[in-house]
Structure 1
Amino acid sequence: MTRTRFPRSVFRVGTEPDARFTLANERTFLAWTRTALALIAGGVALEALGLDLQAGFRLAASLVLVVAGLALPIWAWVEWMRTERALRAGHPLPGAHTSAALAIVVVVVGLLVLLGILWR
């Protein structure tokens, strides 16, 4: 009996790569998922603790964190699939767009918190 692996769009491409590379790709996906949980927790904590920040900036920073935390696992899944397909096809690995997006989120949240401190 042959087991079908999910997602087929990834596993029907190319040949099976060295398991170490596939497992490293999976660990990267799991690390992004943990990061997403931290973003959501940070957004909830920022708003729930009611820190002495200007309320509008605090809420905006919280929302950016929560929305980024919701979007990150989806984006990480897409990157996992792109990377796994490249590994299986023997192509160069795709760029790390998720890292750039996360850096932008952190800068935006930092600026919102800074503004919240300055305008309290």
Structure 2
Amino acid sequence: MTRRWPRRVYGEGTEPDPRFTFANERTFLAWIRTALALLAAGVALEALEVPEHEAARRVLVVVVVALGTLCGGVSYWRWAAAERAMRTGRPLPAPAIAPLLAVGLVVVGVAVLVGVAAS
């Protein structure tokens, strides 16, 4: 076997069909794009000063940037867990961060709408 990193992923099981590995990588990249979009949204909220109330804006920026950072970190964990599951024949892990992101974005969206409507 060639030396591949990370060993905790590639060091167990057998090589899955390459199509599944590539699909797993595409999913990982989609989560990374989502994380980048969330980080950009946090920067945009701050730069555009939306909502106008500074304390509310800071909270929203922190929440959106935290969601983006979490999404980026969890996406790597999810990629590794899915790859290990495919290599060992176990069921794929559930996308645990998806509900958190959905709820977080709904809360942030409503807060921005309320902030914009109030100004």
Q: TM-score, normalised by structure 2?
A: 0.90
User: For the residues of structure 1 that align with 2:79 and 2:42, how far apart are their CA atoms?
Assistant: 25
Superposed, 1:66-77 pairs within 5 Å as 66-77=65-76
Correspondence 1:87 to 2:78: no
For residues 86 and 27 of structure 2, what CA distance do their matches in structure 1 show? 14
1:98 corresponds in structure 2 to 97
In structure 2, the partner of 1:108 is 107
> How far is the alpha carbon of 1:118 from its aligned partner?
4.8
Output the amino acid matched with 2:27. Answer: T
- Residue identity over aligned pairs, in percent, reads 48
| Structure 1 gap segments, 5+ residues each | none
Q: 1:3 and 1:89 mapped to 2: Cα distance?
A: 18
- Comparing 49-58 with 14-23, which one deviates more in the overlay? 49-58
Query: What is the CA distance between 1:17 and its match in structure 2?
Result: 0.3
Aligned length: 119
Matched, 1:57 2:67: no
- Give 2:100's aligned amino acid: A
- Tell me by how many angstroms 1:73 deviates: 1.2
**Is residue 36 of structure 1 aligned with residue 35 of structure 2?**
yes
Larger mean CA deviation between 18-27 and 93-102 belongs to: 93-102
Query: How far apart are 1:59 and its partner, in Å?
Result: 2.0
Distance in 2, matches of 1:50 and 1:27, equals: 34
Question: For residue 46 of structure 2, what is the aligned residue in structure 1?
Answer: 47
Residues in 2 aligned to 1:21 and 1:58: alpha-carbon distance in whole angstroms? 41
* Residue pair 2:28, 2:75 contacting (<8 A) in 1 also: yes
CA shift, 1:116, in A, is: 1.9
* Structure 1 segments (4+ residues) deviating >6 Å: none
SS at match of 2:25: helix
Q: For the Cα contact (< 8 Å) 1:57–1:115, is it kept in 2? A: no
Distance in 1 separating the partners of 2:62 and 2:19: 37
Mean Cα deviation higher: 28-37 or 105-114 = 105-114
Q: CA RMSD of the aligned region, Å?
A: 1.6
C-alpha separation in 2, matches of 1:66 and 1:52? 16
TM-score (norm: length of structure 1): 0.89
